[in-house]
Chain A
Amino acid sequence: AQSVTQLGSHVSVSEGALVLLRCNYSSSVPPYLFWYVQYPNQGLQLLLKYTTGATLVKGINGFEAEFKKSETSFHLTKPSAHMSDAAEYFCAVSGYTGGGNKLTFGTGTQLKVEL
């Protein structure tokens, strides 16, 4: 079974400051991990994903995440926040049991960017 824990349901940063959104996972098999962003009244958009290989993954809009097996973490970062980054962010792990590849999501982190 797979699960994801996102620490901090709300994060507030100043424009230009570092963004750090935390995600820890639990998986009985090598994990495949995803970060999605959801803007108000919209569906989910993929930011980045980790499958195998390089542990530092770069995504869209300047975001990146580092897979750390020893810490079972996949934290999302962006060096400099922009007002347009304000949204809800979801970490997810992909499971594959008995066919199918469902995503198991965390409860999300609402990012607020202040002037």
Chain B
Amino acid sequence: DAGVTQSPTHLIKTRGQQVTLRCSPKSGHDTVSWYQQALGQGPQFIFQYYEEEERQRGNFPDRFSGHQFPNYSSELNVNALLLGDSALYLCASSLGSASRWETQYFGPGTRLLVL
């Protein structure tokens, strides 16, 4: 049973560029959440997708956008990259009931460095 997978594992970009990160959820899961983890910090919630719609969003600017596909995989897009966007981006999957007790399973993350 494959867990949550993310690609790429590492990425280096320049300020002002755009980046797309990808996530495949755990088998049987239909909800994908994205988190940003800056160095030395806890993960911060970006947004959550369910049934191809953004269901909930954290305090991130519109430069951060996402998409969920019919097969439940998801993309995170960040436009006009800033140095402060350098972080580990984590994808988590869960079942779609949105119950607060549902466990979110995390992928290994994509480490983004913006120069």
Contact = CB atoms under 8 A, between A and B. Distances in A.
- What is the interface residue range for chain A against chain B? 20 to 34
Contacts, number: 75
Interface of B: 4, 33, 35, 40-45, 48, 50, 55-56, 58, 90, 92, 94, 98-109
Chain B facing A: main interface SS: loop
A38 B76 CA distance: 22
Contacts of B90: 43-44
B107 A43 contact: yes
Contacts of B104: 101, 103
Given A43-B108, A108-B41, 9 more contacts: A34-B103, A44-B106, A49-B101, A51-B101, A90-B43, A102-B56, A102-B58, A105-B42, A106-B42
Contacts of A51: 100-101
Contacts of A34: 103
A33 B98 CA distance: 15
Contacts of A97: 56
Interface in A53-93: 90, 92
A102 B45 contact: yes
Contacts of A95: 100
Most chain B CB within 10 A, of A32, A36, A43, A98, is at A43
